[in-house]
Amino acid sequence: MSSPAATPATTPASTATEAAPAPAPAPAPATTASAPIEAAPAPTAAAPTPADPVQTVQVQEVSADQARGAAAPTPTKPKKPSFAKRLFSILKNGAPVTPPASSSTSPTASRKSLDVNAKTMSATTAKTPEIFVGSIDQGTSSSRFIIFNQKGEIVTMHQMEFEQIYPQAGWCEHDPEVIMDSVNQCIAEVAKKLEAMGHSISDIKAIGITNQRETTVVWDKITGKPLHHAIVWLDGRTKSTVAKLVEKSESKTTTHLQQKCGLPFSTYFSGVKLRWLLDNVDAVKKAHDEGRLAFGTIDSWLIYNLTGGVNGGKHVSDVTNASRTMFMNIHTLQWDEDILKFFDVKREILPEIVSSAEEYGKVVGGPLAGLPLAGCLGDQQAAVVGQRCFNPGEVKNTYGTGCFMLFNTGTDAVISKHGLLTTVGYKLGKDADAVYALEGSVAIAGAAIKWLRDNLKMIESAAEINELAAKVENTGGVYFVPAFSGLFAPHWRDDARGCIVGLTQYATREHIARATLEAVCFQSKEVLDAMNADAGTDLAMLKVDGGMTNSDLGMQIQADLLGISVERPAMRETTALGAALAAGLTVGVWKDLNDFAAGEKPDIFEPKIEAKDRADRYADWKKAVERSLNWV
């Protein structure tokens, strides 16, 4: 597929994805960096350069103990009548913390592949049958397939990067067929590894899916082929579309539909991207008018193809992904006819909305043929489940391509007054209650590190930024606002652009490296402040996951700037784990949330700087943000 725009520039994506973090042994908290920031399966891998062709890198094996997750808390059902009394009483002393428990094809894109096994690969005899659950984790810059055992430990996995397409400044696209190829390749490689370990594919009882959210795919129902490249969640081309929608609304505000769908008008969401495609791509408009168009986010595209494509493939989307389109009523959990009329979109092009834990269909073809696809969540919601944030008031923050903080609000869909989004956290079963969350989304986190590596050539690997940052005690007055496509929560300013301020002759690349880490942490503080404002009280603990959490220095900076404890799990693949949990619950691998327990003690980072230092640095950050506004 090619874009109607000018010939795009392409680069391989970094391994710092919006999806899950690396399954690495958790080092003790320190003020120096000892692990890479990239979301690679193991931090000891020497990653090939972005221009390398397809290749496999053997990575140090990880023991099952090292890959083990934390124990699951008992889910608490919200009590009526008062949301505030129920939720925020938890927050006054911090959220409860659970104590630890005693078919491959050849895609056109250049890509890298990585694999890791939690056990030895050299088995000479068949082992006693075990029970496994597979998880497809399709992220912004890579795809992976991971096998978990009943304890939530990683058995084996495979990861592949794929091509990023940049047709114009501020635009970002993916080839949907390349994404599908990368997923199939990961599945094929894991199947080989699993059998080499003495296990059988029949040991896998179900497959879960987690995916980059909002990224928009359109395809032809007759041919099953994409009609355009997927428009990625961080793509900023739809600024003029947003302006038209705001002008069309009765209130003339970006929040016109927020009471219904939980989201403001923004370049971020799928509905706005679809409207742009209908307005600007003739093939998409024609297919829409003729009833041939199929629309979906990445979960829909994967499930459709895995269950047969044009030969009976299922066109569905789980409720967490549907809640990111602007088309779903956040209260009824159904497509909203009034919103569809406002966007001038036909209902028949949309997928069926399903829960996060039910059987959507069986895999057709390939090593997993016949296995049920039984769980699906958007990646940030999957991390909520993987982090066991089942109680109202618990908060997690995922550091990948972007940065995403979700605050469990129980069964109440709370509309933020401070720039946050209302989203579905999970719905684990057809008849289960939906659990909601407030979300603060940051567009650029790990992507800023990738920019330093691939665009400025300032570093050769993401790990190097950690090493550079550790060589200086502060940023030397340098502040980096990575507003490459505007600023998301809590600002929602599409007129912002990136800037580095405070440069003097004293500044070095070490200072810029540290300023990049601090930029991610400052943006997370802005989101946390908005959550505190909505909650009416200050949160006491932040759970973290994602590739950047491998950096002890980065997590110490985060604790310092927030002024609260930061908790990092021993097993970092919480996004994939959440999807596996949903699938396992569906087929009975786990009976309920209480049955899903594993655990090593997490790492806790405590703030070490004085309150005045924190306040002064935050004030300077705010001044830097002001400099980034009103550029376009």
* Res. 14 pLDDT band, cuts 50 70 90: very low
DSSP at 170: T
pLDDT at 536: 81
* Res. 126 pLDDT band, cuts 50 70 90: low
| Stretch 105-125: mean pLDDT | 42
pLDDT digits (tens, 9 = 90+) for 593-614: 777 655 678 899 999 999 999 9
pLDDT at 540: 85
Specify the higher pLDDT residue, 249 or 548: 249
Question: For residue 382, is pLDDT > 70?
Answer: yes
Class of domain 388-568+601-632: alpha beta
Tokens (6 digits) for 108: 């056109």
pLDDT at 92: 43
Answer left, alpha or beta for residue 500, where phi above 0 means left and psi between -120 and 50 means alpha. beta
Backbone phi and psi for residue 435, each to the nearest 5 degrees, phi listed first: -110, 130
Q: Which segments within 251-311 are labelled E, that is strand?
A: 293-297
Pairwise CA distance, residues 615 & 73, whole Å: 34
Question: For residue 19, is pLDDT > 50?
Answer: no
Tally Cβ neighbours within 10 Å of residue 390: 23
| Stretch 104-124: mean pLDDT | 42
What's the gap between Cα 564 and its chain centre?
23
Could you tell me the pTM of the whole model? 0.77
Lowest mean pLDDT among 136-145, 321-330, 456-465, 532-541: 532-541
- Answer for the pair 577, 571: CB distance below 8 angstroms, yes or no: yes
pLDDT at 80: 44
pLDDT digits (tens, 9 = 90+) for 568-577: 988 888 999 9
| Stretch 233-244: mean pLDDT | 94
Torsion, CA 218, CA 224, CA 227, CA 229, rounded to 10? 70
Cα 304 to Cα 42, 324, 579: the distances in Å are: 31, 19, 17
Tokens (6 digits) for 429: 């079963």
pLDDT at 548: 87
- Answer for the pair 552, 32: CB distance below 8 angstroms, yes or no: yes
Question: For residue 423, is pLDDT > 70?
Answer: yes
* Res. 317 pLDDT band, cuts 50 70 90: very high
pLDDT digits (tens, 9 = 90+) for 180-207: 999 999 999 999 999 999 999 999 999 9
Q: Where are the domains of the chain?
A: 388-568+601-632
Closest C-alpha among 542, 549, 448, 562 to residue 34? 549
In the chain, pLDDT over 90 holds for what percent of residues? 67
Question: For residue 515, is pLDDT > 60?
Answer: yes
pLDDT digits (tens, 9 = 90+) for 337-357: 999 999 999 999 999 999 999
Question: For residue 64, is pLDDT > 90?
Answer: no
Pairwise CA distance, residues 576 & 620, whole Å: 37
pLDDT at 300: 98
Q: Which segments within 363-506 are labelled E, that is strand?
A: 372-378, 395-399, 403-410, 421-426, 435-442, 479-481, 499-501
* Res. 44 pLDDT band, cuts 50 70 90: very low
